[in-house]
Homo-oligomer: A and B are copies of this chain.
Amino acid sequence: MAKRTSYCGQVSKALLGQEVVLKGWVQKRRDLGDLIFIDLRDREGIVQVVFNPVFSKEALETAENIRNEYVIEVRGKVVERSEGMANKKIATGELEIEVSEVTVLNKAKTPPFYIEDDLNVADDLRLKYRYLDLRRPEMTKNILLRHQITKSVRQYLDQQDFIDIETPYLTKSTPEGARDYLVPSRVHPGHFYALPQSPQLFKQLLMGAGFDRYYQIVRCFRDEDLRGDRQPEFSQIDIETSFLEPKDIQDFTEEMLANVLKDTKGIELKKPFPRMTYAEAMNRYGSDKPDIRFAMELVNVNECVKEAGFKVFTSTIENGGMVKAINAKGAATHYSRKDIDALGEFVGIYGAKGLAWMKVEEDGLKGPIAKFFKEGAENLIKAMNAEAGDLLLFVADQEKVVHESLGALRVKLGKELDLIDPSVFAFLWIVDWPIVEYDEDEKRYTAMHHPFTMPREEDLALLENAPEKVLAQAYDIVLNGYELGGGSMRIHQREIQEKMFEVLGFTKESAEEQFGFLLNALEYGFPPHGGIAIGLDRFVMLLAGEDNIREVIAFPKNGRAIDPMAEAPSVVSQKQLEELSIRTTEIEEDE
């Protein structure tokens, strides 16, 4: 084999007149008899190579038998395409290669789908032939982008004296949190390792060990029910520091993220990023991860509607609930009654019993319930900042339902009404989170972040008797309506950590059994510390403009946690199970 002199996608005018050696895949072949054009593709792009008896008769003959996806090596001269033949869609479109030599490095059968963008085939087919799917320029670009992002992150953190430290993947099961993936131990029958849901405790212990600034791009595992952008294994940019304040941690996180945007997208972000309290985010956007690229905020209209005589509203308010509305500006004509009924069904998913609505026309409010608001109309219109052509949508319920349903509706309408500029990356810090929430199913408080989150100093006294009022030193970072990452200061004193476990319903014994090593460690000179974890897959997804993290993971699982290519998970041999001292209690036939 000759040495490649350039990637196909990087052939440029600087090489004009020079001989190059390229290696790549045949994207397309056009045979005009004594002239053959091949679009040759590698990871960096495509270039046109031309076979012509004038350049080489032998090469032309070889080219006659070349088919799509063959791997070939060509040697030839870089020339400008003739007048009018330029292809503006590709970077090398004004150039082509006059081929003097060609070697077929490997043949190819006809692939099960076209190697091109905007593919429309079943996801499982793409995953079964992932090695072909990844050849598609869009997928190649996503994987290259992922590398650029991690490279940028590492460069920044390395410069800032952070130390990349690997933490174990075979560790201990801790029931707090999501479901663990377990790994049976062969050497210790009846015992199991767990794959980490995050390296949270290890990174805290690294602070105890004095490393002071840690990072790791690390795999995490959660055996949860799968949803759109969830995977059994995912990666996070995991960071922990000692001796810093939340503001310091937020500052370097912003710097790091801004560097990535600059390095990969050429975008200069404005810093500092905006900050919003959890309470304000819920109040204005009905969400703890608001997409602030568009307005359409939730407005509390209790005052405007409580006297209006519309029973649904008044009784809700009387029962301690609330009425909130959003104004879909100019959307009155976009939504028919039937459309609005569908929106009503949509909010039903979030527990709302109904969606009330009114359209604003020049002569006032219209719609089935408008008659109740003849008198208050002006106030309502003013509160909603409404004008003719707007559609007002109301949910009346307890606070949680109002926020969740209207928050989701807002995002849906934002997309439907094309209010979102996809070129904007809107970061936002959400701060002052409650430290716990009450879990009605389990009848106990659960940690809003995790049990190691530090309460605000001024709230410590409330921890015992009113934990629901305690705010945490926690800060989540949101990007375009997605929770990008979560961070907090951690508890570094044994007494507070013990108190927290107590609040969360642990007994002294169960806390000791599960987290004894952390409690002990806190007694041996543990520094004040805190950190953050950024969801890498989601970050890449958002920067790639994709809407599923599968599109930015080289070999993801499908929606049923299966890898259709390697066929994992699979049945294993009886011998393997015996060695692990386990038995399966239910054997299903191969699906």
A residues with a Cβ closer than 8 A to B are 1, 3-4, 23-26, 41-43, 69-71, 73, 105-109, 111, 128-135, 140, 143-144, 146-147, 150-151, 154, 158, 163-173, 175, 179-195, 201-202, 205-206, 208-212, 219, 221, 223, 232-233, 235, 242-243, 245, 248, 492-493, 517, 521, 523-528, 553-557, 560-563, 565-573, 576, 578-588, 591
Contacts and interface: CB of A to CB of B under 8 A. Distances in A.
A518 to B, nearest CB: 9
A140 B210 contact: yes
A135 B210 contact: yes
Q: Determine which residue in A25, A69, A130 has the highest number of CB atoms from chain B within 10 A of its CB, and name it.
A: A130
B570 A581 contact: no
Nearest to A568: B172
B1 A243 contact: yes
A126 to B, nearest CB: 12
Given A111-B524, A219-B169, A130 B555 contact: no
B106 A190 contact: no
The number of times this chain is found in the oligomer is 2
Contacts of A587: 189-190
Given A135-B209, A524-B108, A586 B190 contact: yes
A588 B189 contact: yes
A133 B206 CA distance: 11
Given A165-B147, A245-B1, A492-B106, A185 B569 contact: yes
Given A168-B555, A171-B568, A219-B169, A106 B4 contact: no
A153 to B, nearest CB: 11
A525 B1 contact: no
A205 B131 contact: yes
Contacts of A245: 1
B493 A166 contact: no
Given A181-B193, A185-B561, 12 more contacts: A70-B525, A130-B205, A134-B209, A147-B164, A154-B154, A166-B219, A170-B568, A179-B186, A180-B576, A190-B586, A192-B569, A201-B566
A106 B493 contact: yes
Contacts of A163: 43, 143-144, 147
Contact of A188 (B169, B194, B578, B588): B588
Closest 5 CB pairs of A and B: A108-B525, A134-B209, A191-B569, A172-B568, A69-B525
A171 B4 CA distance: 34
Contact of A43 (B42, B212, B568): B212
Contacts of A233: 168-170
A131 B189 contact: no
Given A182-B580, A585-B582, A563 B171 contact: yes
A235 B173 CA distance: 22
